[in-house]
Structure 1
Amino acid sequence: MEALMQQYRTYLVKDRKLSSNTLESYQRDLQQFFAYLGEQGVPHPSDASQTTLIGYCLSMEHKGRAPSTIARNVASLRCFYHYLLQQQMIRQNPAEQLESPRSQKRLPSILSFDEVEKLLHQPSGKGFKAYRDKAMLELLYATGIRVSELISLHLKDVDLSLGFVRCCQERSRERIIPLGSKAIESVRRYLEKYRPHSDQTLLFLNVQGKPLTRQGFWKIVKSYAVKAGIDKPITPHTLRHSFATHLLQNGADLQAVQEMMGHSDISTTQVYAQMIHSRIKDVYNKAHPRA
């Protein structure tokens, strides 16, 4: 067995060119699998059947292993048995039809309506920074665009008279997203009174009249979240997630939200609907006397 593992390791390094971390994971997975074979009285990996491999996956599930861990083990077994087939050590690959468990998508963190209101009211006072930050936050929550898309917007991309923003990232098609009155008002005030004169055509600039960075913007958001007393973790997508969830909570059509978010697959948008259903169920379980 040791000779086989050494030959297999050489194959992973030279032919598959796996990273050292992946290599160690694959080998660790196989050692655990070999231990299982010994418990089942299977003398050699080449003697394992598809039923044996399914039994191994079920045993991991019964031990409470995470779906991602089981999926990695399945990948390890597929690679290993593909190698055995190449070396003509087996006639049929028992891992060929082995299915990986579907890992559950982690539900994103969002802000409540009240938390969003508190956050949007934080930029205060007169001057460039307060009005720029107010305009950025209002626009981000009004459209659900990505932070990278927000800081890449040009003056020509925003039509305040018709009330829409044009958004087009690389490798994705153009999206036209409507603007609400609050966002229109904030952006107009910023443009008319406080945007610095600059050769830059970008909509939002820093205090030096240069492009904003993604990191710089989220430092701004985090500082306002602290001022608003919001103790939830703020990520680059928090307002984007909140935008989608709040729209669906208020009866928006799922496909319309998908279009505005720029999701190529509607299953990505359905995560937000799943969040709403999950919370409704929690409310029911807590409030219904016979739940």
Structure 2
Amino acid sequence: MFEVNDTARLMNDLEVVISTLFLDVDRRKLVIRLEEVLSNYEIQRKTETDIEGDLQEKIDMYLSARQIEGMSDKTLEGYKLELKLFSEKIDKPIVQINTADIRKYLASNSSWMISTVDKKLSALKSFFAWMVEEELLLRNPAAKIKPPKKPKRLPKGLSIEEMEIVRDSCKDQRERALIEVLYSTGCRLSEIANIKTTDINLHEMKIHVIGKGDKERTVYLSIKSMHQLRKYLNSRNDECEYLFVTERKPYRKMSNRNIQRIIDKIEQRSNISKKITPHTFRHTFGTLAMENGADLADVQKLLGHEDPSTTLVYAHVSEERKKQAHKRFHVQ
């Protein structure tokens, strides 16, 4: 009988792994060959103390690799935080982490919203998938966990009438230009904040923007937005390279928070029932584009969505549109 020592444990572990990978392996021959090979080595099993900190070490490796690959700073910080929280809860060597451990962690806080759980799972799936790709793990313990079902909520854009009320609530040229550019282009808040005057082509009524993942795209201006934008640019007397700048010297780029404050003030003046944020104008753009018959693929490109399913939230059909369709196509 083979002595139960560290060498025997290693041989047993190898036998299990190889038998799992190759179902038709002759286990008797495998044991003989493993005994022959391992007899040439002195083997000492690591203690639990030896492998403490293993998970955090692998997380640091993962984050460094993703940084080199060009992952955005925002995504990198988000993953760093989520993986740090996970490592603080799971007191195990990484090779011992299983699917049940991850499920237990995701269910550990009943106050977490579905979107929070989804974000945590996304970070864990990415991390463990990378570990398998790098051959640091044999399998991904997060692979079988399905993302939580999100409630289907239609994005709340503004109606044409509400958009006119918002326009009337602007008090100066900067506010008018900001509202029109947000509405006409469907840009994200960060994209608007980072537009430079050199990115704008008023003659061709388009703007070059940098979106999520440092991806470039072209967005377009309406006649109304181009008119308000030209008036705003002509009213400025500064040398700041950014499109939307602060009111007081030294003139500088407006931060995301600055822009949000302006939208908050316009919302208060407008006194409409809907909450207005910079993203509201993006929703309005997407919804009205689909309402007016725009192709889904075109709206996807204009909004800079990588996944077509993200754009599908705008593909709902309004009651009025359904009513008109029924009148046109109903067989009498």
TM-score in same-fold range (> 0.5): yes
Change (3 A) 1:162 1:229: same
Change (3 A) 1:111 1:69: closer
Change (3 A) 1:20 1:112: closer
Change (3 A) 1:24 1:172: closer
Q: For the residues of structure 2 that align with 1:97 and 1:217, how far apart are their CA atoms?
A: 40
Counterpart amino acid of residue 231 in structure 1: S
Change (3 A) 1:264 1:198: same
- 1:78-89 aligned at under 5 Å gives the runs none
Q: For the residues of structure 2 that align with 1:96 and 1:216, how far apart are their CA atoms?
A: 40
Counterpart amino acid of residue 168 in structure 2: H
Q: For the residues of structure 2 that align with 1:107 and 1:199, how far apart are their CA atoms?
A: 43
Deviation at 1:21, TM superposition (A): 5.1
Partner of residue 14, structure 1: 53
Deviation at 1:109, TM superposition (A): 4.0
Partner of residue 303, structure 2: 261
Q: 2:162 aligns with which of 115, 120, 125?
A: 115
Counterpart amino acid of residue 54 in structure 2: D
Deviation at 1:98, TM superposition (A): 4.1
Partner of residue 221, structure 1: 263
Is the 8 Å Cα contact of residues 154 and 201 (structure 1) preserved in structure 2? yes
Counterpart amino acid of residue 216 in structure 1: N
Deviation at 1:231, TM superposition (A): 3.5
Q: For the residues of structure 2 that align with 1:97 and 1:176, how far apart are their CA atoms?
A: 36
Partner of residue 199, structure 1: 239
Partner of residue 100, structure 1: 146
Is residue 157 from structure 1 mapped to residue 204 from structure 2 by the alignment?
A: no
Q: 1:173 aligns with which of 210, 215, 223?
A: 215
Deviation at 1:14, TM superposition (A): 2.9
Deviation at 1:112, TM superposition (A): 2.5
Q: For the residues of structure 2 that align with 1:162 and 1:20, how far apart are their CA atoms?
A: 48
Q: Deviations over 1:239-280 (max 9, x none)?
A: 11221111111111111111111111212111222xx24x65
Partner-residue secondary structure (3-state), 1:167: strand
Change (3 A) 1:23 1:160: closer
Partner-residue secondary structure (3-state), 1:16: helix
Partner of residue 148, structure 1: 190
Q: For the residues of structure 1 that align with 2:274 and 2:144, how far apart are their CA atoms?
A: 40
Counterpart amino acid of residue 242 in structure 2: L
**TM-score of the two chains, using structure 1 as the length reference:** 0.61
Counterpart amino acid of residue 200 in structure 1: C
Is the 8 Å Cα contact of residues 155 and 314 (structure 2) preserved in structure 1? no
Gaps spanning 5+ residues in structure 2: where? 1-46, 60-82, 92-98, 108-112, 129-138, 324-332
Q: Deviations over 1:62-106 (max 9, x none)?
A: xxxx9787997xx8xxx9xxxxxxxxxxxxx9x788442542265
Q: Deviations over 1:114-150 (max 9, x none)?
A: 22221122113xxxxx001100110110000111111
Deviation at 1:235, TM superposition (A): 3.5
Q: Deviations over 1:148-196 (max 9, x none)?
A: 111211112112222111212474332122211110111111122x1x3
Change (3 A) 1:189 1:103: same
Change (3 A) 1:16 1:188: same
Deviation at 1:107, TM superposition (A): 3.1
Counterpart amino acid of residue 118 in structure 1: I
Change (3 A) 1:200 1:219: same
Counterpart amino acid of residue 123 in structure 1: C
Deviation at 1:199, TM superposition (A): 2.1
Partner-residue secondary structure (3-state), 2:214: coil
Counterpart amino acid of residue 111 in structure 1: G
Change (3 A) 1:167 1:96: closer
Is the 8 Å Cα contact of residues 110 and 239 (structure 1) preserved in structure 2? no
Change (3 A) 1:258 1:97: closer
Q: Deviations over 1:8-39 (max 9, x none)?
A: 9x98x733249785468779xxxxxxxxxxxx
Q: For the residues of structure 1 that align with 2:142 and 2:219, how far apart are their CA atoms?
A: 45
Is the 8 Å Cα contact of residues 254 and 269 (structure 1) preserved in structure 2? yes
**TM-score of the two chains, using structure 2 as the length reference:** 0.54
Matched length: 220
Is the 8 Å Cα contact of residues 173 and 231 (structure 2) preserved in structure 1? yes
Higher relative contact order (CA 8 A, sep 6+): 1
Partner of residue 70, structure 2: none
Deviation at 1:236, TM superposition (A): 3.9
